[in-house]
Chains A and B, each alone.
Chain A
Amino acid sequence: MGRLRYTTVRLLQAIPVLLGVVTITFFLTDAIPGDPVQIMLGPSPSAQQADAIRAKFGLDQPLYVRYVNYLADVVRLDLGESIYYGVPVTQKIMERLPVTLFLLLSSFTFALCTAVPLGILSAKRRNEPTDHVSRIVALFGVSTPSFWIGLMLIIVFSFKLGWLPATNIVLPWADPASLDAVDPDASWLVARWQVVATSAKHLVLPMITLGTLQMAAFTRIERSSMLEVLGEEYVKLARAYGVSEFTIVRKHAFRNAQLPLLTLVGLQLTSALGGAVLTETVFSINGMGRLIITAINNQDFPLVMGTTLVFGLVFVIGVIITDLSYALVDPRVSFEGSE
């Protein structure tokens, strides 16, 4: 029962956090200088037109009434209508969110798949050449801005070598009919495969761009936590009972060493969301990052609030997943207080 109860508690705890996100976003957005109505109507609109728009969006009401109304709407999953696009905010988000989530997921997968082996290798070969190389790679990774990495990758792999596409990202779930690369006569399975293959080619550069920073941070934390765990008494005990070094790393040390990494993965979600804004801009990907920029540039209040709320939500869910996986890895977490 320990884990189930723990999960429920953590989920309930997310509610006040999200309420805070909604509240802060609402009042911050209101504090932004400039009048959205003016942006919508262009220069010198008639007072009558402006009033009509204000009435339509409820902007003529006092702030606290608007806040309460907004909260009520959010609870009903209604985030209002985008002023700029003229469609419901939720619709716009549903369109863009999968793209960004997909980008985040693939860049984290890339980061973890490279960082974990690299970190373990560094720890096992401490202060040997492998360790130094990994340290330099990590240093490069954390200190290079992602947009620069993106631009360099585009210059080298798209323009100079022509190996990988730099724009017009294709998602694996795209309609095969919309793609030139797909043979129109191919069977469903072949067509699907061609879409996925095209998508993978499109994904490589943005994935590396967004994932490099995470990869660097993860490598360092993996190395240090692995080093620490390898010095633990229970690792010495395993050695004293004739367990091979490989099994020690794979089994006795691995799970314990992943705990600090898990925490970092959850925290890096914020910086990755920020990185997504830049990466999407560099590669012209229509995801949440570009949506939020468009929203801010056009003072599209409902859209700004909606996208920020979703970013907050993604982060909160990320932290919850981190905590839950913590409980899965370390029995001491979920059993705490139950004994």
Chain B
Amino acid sequence: MTDEPLLKVENLQTQFFTEEGTVRAVDGISFEVNEGEIVGLVGESGAGKSVATSSIMRLVETPGQIVGGTVTYKGTKIVDIEEGPDGQPRPSEEMLTDEEMREQIRGNEIAIIFQDPMEALNPVFKVGAQLREFIELNRDVGSAEAREIAVDMLREVGIPEPVKRYDSYPHQFSGGMRQRVLIAMALACEPSLIIADEPTTALDVTVEGQIIDLVHDLEAKYDTSFVWVTHDLGVVAEICDRVNVMYLGEIIESADVDDLFHDTKHPYTEALLQSIPRPDQTVEELEPIVGVMPEAINPPSGCRFHTRCPDARTVCREFHPTEQDVSEAVTATHRVACVKYESIGYEDARPLETEATDDFGSGLIDASGEDA
């Protein structure tokens, strides 16, 4: 086995060209997934998590377009955008064609589990037939064998009476059952990587727990790698090996799961952690992150989080931090994109009046000039 990671995303950029302007939904993210690893992609709604995953699958729909970066999967460039002679981004010669992408990658190498199991199955076809179709398409098996695999897989993901349920329609399944079917679908195609796009968000907590346990067992059994997209740090703590935290189209911190929780570096990650209850810490009150995420169409200057960051200083407004490896250990990496860890004078800068520290009164005093 080589040291080459299974999936390597480098400087991936996806933009949406709308009438209001260009939305930089994914703005230069880089991360890696090693074999047998579960990598989390965490962030609030609108951080660009789902766009990132559909970019990896090359399923971005117009007006969206991948405008830069490289995604290497098992040495193959599934995304490789270079600048053309006219200055416009164009696919490089090494990048797989749409046809190759469809036939070689989607389903049989990288499978996906969607967020909403209620909508992801086709209501007019039987569940088994849908499974069988994808198995036939992505594995070199005939119809009868595909049917057997489908039934086995339904049993594997904990569907009772799989032979009978094979002939049921999606509306005869509950949400949790449908998500099990979708997991069965992904695993049955025997991909090396499964992208799970908020697979438990639409489910209630007990079902979520069951699904996570199921994925844990199956991951160990099939040795499949996962990219697990979620906004729930609790889920991340439970299943991920490494975590990438996204904010407004960028990855601002990435670390092993233990480091992320116990040696948090980025103020945003810190804020996220403080906004959820933790079994290892007792707090009087949870602290939500102040304000809402700005729109990606017009991101703040400098560090994109400075408008909500409790630690923000003047320099954060001007300087856009890049990811630095701040890990003390040699084996692990802990990268963080924060001005604090760049040597450009954070220590000397004046604290910034952010939404986080600002209150209504101080604005009024400023306006009347009484503080001068």
- Residues of chain A within 8 A of B185, CB atoms compared: 241
* B interface residues with partner A (beta carbon < 8 Å): 57, 59, 102-103, 105-108, 111-112, 114, 116, 119-124, 133-134, 137-138, 169, 171-172, 182, 185, 189
Q: Are A233 and B119 in contact (CB under 8 A)?
A: yes
Q: Are A332 and B120 in contact (CB under 8 A)?
A: no
Can you give 9 contacting A-B residue pairs, CB < 8 Å? A234-B119, A236-B59, A236-B120, A237-B112, A240-B59, A241-B111, A241-B185, A329-B124, A335-B172
A131 to chain B, nearest CB (A): 14
- Residues of chain B within 8 A of A233, CB atoms compared: 114, 116, 119-120
Known: A234-B122, A242-B106, A242-B108. 18 other contacts (CB 8 A): A233-B114, A233-B116, A233-B120, A234-B119, A234-B120, A236-B114, A238-B122, A239-B59, A241-B107, A241-B138, A241-B185, A242-B103, A243-B102, A244-B102, A255-B124, A256-B122, A256-B123, A256-B124
Interface of A is mostly: helix
Query: Most chain-B Cβ atoms within 10 A of its Cβ — which of A234, A244, A255, A339?
Result: A234
A238→B112 CA distance, assembly (Å): 10
> Given A241-B134, A339-B172, A331 and B123 touching (CB < 8 A)?
yes
- Residues of chain B within 8 A of A331, CB atoms compared: 123-124, 169, 171
> Given A335-B169, A335-B171, A241 and B137 touching (CB < 8 A)?
yes
A229→B133 CA distance, assembly (Å): 19
- Residues of chain B within 8 A of A241, CB atoms compared: 106-107, 111-112, 134, 137-138, 185, 189
A232→B121 CA distance, assembly (Å): 10
A256→B124 CA distance, assembly (Å): 7
Binary contact track A251-287/B, C-beta < 8 Å → 1, others 0: 0100110000000000000000000000000000000
- Residues of chain A within 8 A of B133, CB atoms compared: 243
Query: Most chain-B Cβ atoms within 10 A of its Cβ — which of A236, A237, A255?
Result: A237
A233→B123 CA distance, assembly (Å): 11
A:98-115 near B, CB below 8 Å: none
A222→B123 CA distance, assembly (Å): 19
A233→B124 CA distance, assembly (Å): 14
A51→B314 CA distance, assembly (Å): 107
A335→B116 CA distance, assembly (Å): 23
A244→B172 CA distance, assembly (Å): 28
Q: Are B124 and A237 in contact (CB under 8 A)?
A: no
- Residues of chain B within 8 A of A335, CB atoms compared: 169, 171-172
- Residues of chain B within 8 A of A238, CB atoms compared: 122
Q: Are A240 and B124 in contact (CB under 8 A)?
A: no
A244→B120 CA distance, assembly (Å): 17
Which A-chain residue is minimally distant from B117 (CB atoms)?
A233
Which A-chain residue is minimally distant from B103 (CB atoms)?
A242
Which A-chain residue is minimally distant from B115 (CB atoms)?
A233
